[in-house]
Amino acid sequence: MEDIKPANKDLILREKLALQRTTLANQSTFLSFLRTSMYFLIAGLSLRNLLMIENSLLIEIALFVTSFIIFVFGTLNYFKHKKSIAENKKHIGDYQLEYYKL
């Protein structure tokens, strides 16, 4: 019969903390995408009032589209990484089961 080695408590804690840091980094990255998207949106809204440029409507539309693309990409990126993080939490659960058996 094989001897099962007890799980290292430090390893469990380190992995949990690493996943929490990764979750916070993912949220921070999403907020950065959101902030950048809002900058482009505000630039598009205020362009006509600040500058008297011919064809400013085309530039405004380009800024609005860029803002939307950045927002959609950031949202998709956030949920993709959130799913990946949730899948990695399952591996820590295996260690927890070993830990609680002791």
> How many CB atoms within 10 Å of residue 70?
19
Closest CA to 8 of 101, 102, 100, 99: 99
pTM for the whole structure = 0.73
Per-residue model confidence (pLDDT) at position 53: 77
d(CA 52, CA 26): 40
Between residues 6 and 53, the one the model is more confident about: 53
**For residue 25, pLDDT beyond 90:** yes
> Which of 60, 58, 35, 36 has its CA nearest to residue 46?
60
The CA distance from 29 to 26, in Å, is: 5
